[in-house]
A and B are shown apart, each in its own frame.
Chain A
Amino acid sequence: MLELIVDNRYTLTAVILFVVGLGNMMLHPNLIKKVVAFNIMDAATFLLLASRGFIEGRTAAILTDGGANVALYVNPIPAGLVLTGIVVSVSVSAFSLALIQRIYGSYGTIDMNELLEIMKKKGE
């Protein structure tokens, strides 16, 4: 059992982080914290991807002085995917933060419950 946990430590951590992120994103009333939770969720996915793509004892596939021995390098695709994923998550975070700023400008709060109450009072 212990061995199984140690062997799958990255996957386990990723799953735990994903659930933490998911739960907070759904349940936390603070909009900024929702964005943070979203980032935790994405980081979990990247951890899973990076750990799956890495093989102990090998290095990144950067070829120097002609040594093209495949057995020395790890598959570069997962790293590329993580980079793409980070770009996507940064842009989504930027968009949500800009949106939250506008909401604060309009309503003076970033608490979802308070916002819903204000909306109800205004009858919108």
Chain B
Amino acid sequence: MPLSYNFPFICIFLCMVSAILLSVVRGAKLSYYVTLAVAIACTVLSVIFLFDIVRDDVSFAFTMGKFPAPFGNEIAGGPLQAMMCSVFCGVMAMALLGGKKELFEDVDEKKMGLACVMFNMVLASILVLSYTNDAFTSYVFIEISTIAACALVMIKDSGPTLMATIRYLFMSLLGSGMFLFSVILLYGITGHLLMPQISEKVAELMAMGDQRMLLALCLGMMAASLGVKAAMFPFHRWLPDAHGTATTTSSAVLSGLVLKGYCMLMILFFCRVFTLETVREFHINDVVFVLGLAGMIVGSVCAMRETHAKRMLAYSSVAQLGYVFMGIGLGTVAGIAAACFQMLAHACTKSLLFVSVGRLSSTTGHDKQLAALRGSAWNAPLAGVGFAVGALSMVGIPLFGGFAAKVFFASASIADAEKIVLTLAVLAVSSILNALYYIPALIGIWSHKRPAVHEAEWDVACAIAITVLCLGIFALGIGFSPVMDILVRGVELL
């Protein structure tokens, strides 16, 4: 086994250990830089792992502890997980860099260490949700991710963020309760917790036509619970408050990454545990598909009515997650690969937008109303360019990542004669709706110059983050074909 095959475990371990250590560290700067270093280290390790696993073209199980399957715990790595996690870790590092200034302003210096614990735990849980091969471990990390994500919302510690956190928390608890219930039902039916073993048993039961009602119930509950956590329409009401009121880094991490962890888990359960044939047979994918389409439209319509820049971006996340669910709902390898591509593009784009808005609003005295941000791009040009790149990618202009994702969705839908019309129509409508709120916002921030409320000094960290994320979007938009090849192969190997 090549050395790099240990890297997924090392990444997870690194995040957890640093989280534990940081809980006793008091220095604000020290804990911030440790967290940043961990995120960058995870990125590097994941990229090395990605190169090796793509070269070897395999998917493997990594046994943890001394008990082999079916008793012990496992993580599983393949091209799909490696690709996703490389980008997730990279975006995490950039979100930390991009929101650095605001993070130090918003968080009490004494509590910075604890905030960094939460960032580490969020990264660890996203990695585990992507790599895990064990149904119960995924439940435990769903809960860890819930607590960490809620803590990230409330680190700003103002009235509105507390209220947003409590709504987010109860919605999330509902989701994880349902998830636990379905995992236990599944364990009761199959007698296993490791995904390959459950999958074998499910295939056996399906062949015999046994326990179909219970299996359908499990699958439905699982999809619903992960949908609640990933803000699938109609469970999206908590998201704008939570993502719109938090500090810049938190918003970028929550919108860009945390939601994706649950989507990855849904893909794992659909592909590896139940297999796509079973999912299609129970028509769960059709439900996910329709809710995804509804989310695309409703999210955009709500975003159009927003006057607060960050809440607008948060509603836009609902719409963009709708694309992901649409792709999963197509129930084919191509659809799921397109959904994964959309997750990558959205992770880069949404973090970039949040970082840019955070930077722009620092010139207006942290007023994030769209009206207040008018003309602010001239005072912080790089952030203005970042917002422009992000907005154009969201609308779906060629050469930007978002465009490639839309093309892949359209081409994935061709295989399905029933869904192609709906998919293409909603894609078109949703693109227009995206343009209807992103383009006015873009024109607004670049309209005639107004004197800055606060003179923004040059912020190196933010500049690096915006540059890297912009490059990431262009890389996805121009070099989409190798990325997509890896994703398709990864989904096939799941």
Contacts and interface: CB of A to CB of B under 8 A. Distances in A.
A88 B180 CA distance: 11
Interface in B151-182: 151, 154, 157, 159-160, 162-163, 165-166, 169-170, 173-174, 177, 180-181
Interface stretch (B140-148, B357-365, B459-467): B140-148
A79 interface: no
Contacts of B159: 106-107, 119, 122, 124
Contact of A103 (B140, B146, B166, B180): B166
Interface in B165-202: 165-166, 169-170, 173-174, 177, 180-181, 184-185, 187-188, 193
B163 A45 contact: no
A111 to B, nearest CB: 12
Given A92-B143, A95-B150, A124-B159, A26 B174 contact: yes
Contacts of A38: 170, 173, 177
Helix, strand, loop or mixed for chain B's interface? helix
A115 interface: yes
A9 interface: no
B213 to A, nearest CB: 14
A21 B180 CA distance: 14
Interface in A13-66: 18, 21-22, 25-26, 31, 34, 38, 41-42, 45, 48-49, 52
Contacts of A107: 159
B126 to A, nearest CB: 18
A92 B188 contact: no
A72 interface: no
A54 B139 CA distance: 22
B177 A42 contact: yes
Contacts of B146: 92
Nearest to A102: B162
Contacts, number: 79
A119 B173 contact: no
A74 interface: no
A91 B193 contact: no
A106 B184 contact: no
B262 interface: no
B184 A52 contact: yes
Given A25-B174, A100-B166, A115-B163, A95 B188 contact: no
A84 interface: yes
A77 interface: yes
B489 to A, nearest CB: 34
B136 interface: yes
B177 A88 contact: no
Nearest to B172: A92
The interface residues of chain A, by DSSP majority, are classed as helix
Contacts of A100: 166
Residue of B157, B184, B193 ringed by the most chain A CB atoms within 10 A: B184
A119 B158 CA distance: 12
A81 interface: yes
Interface in A91-115: 91-92, 95-96, 99-100, 102-103, 106-107, 115
B49 to A, nearest CB: 28
B165 A99 contact: yes
A81 B160 contact: no
B308 to A, nearest CB: 11
A34 B147 CA distance: 16
Contacts of B188: 48, 52
B170 A88 contact: no
B140 to A, nearest CB: 6
A99 B160 contact: no
Contacts of B181: 18, 45, 48
A25 B184 contact: no
Contacts of A18: 177, 181
18 contacts: A38-B170, A38-B173, A38-B177, A42-B177, A42-B180, A45-B181, A48-B181, A48-B184, A48-B185, A49-B187, A52-B187, A52-B188, A96-B169, A96-B173, A99-B150, A100-B166, A115-B163, A119-B160
Interface of B: 136, 139-140, 143, 146-147, 150-151, 154, 157, 159-160, 162-163, 165-166, 169-170, 173-174, 177, 180-181, 184-185, 187-188, 193
List of 10 A-B pairs having minimum Cβ-Cβ separation, nearest first: A124-B160, A88-B143, A52-B188, A41-B177, A106-B159, A49-B184, A103-B162, A45-B180, A38-B173, A45-B181
Given A52-B188, A106-B159, 18 more contacts: A25-B173, A38-B173, A42-B177, A42-B180, A49-B184, A49-B187, A84-B140, A91-B143, A92-B143, A92-B146, A92-B173, A95-B147, A95-B151, A96-B166, A99-B169, A100-B166, A103-B163, A103-B166
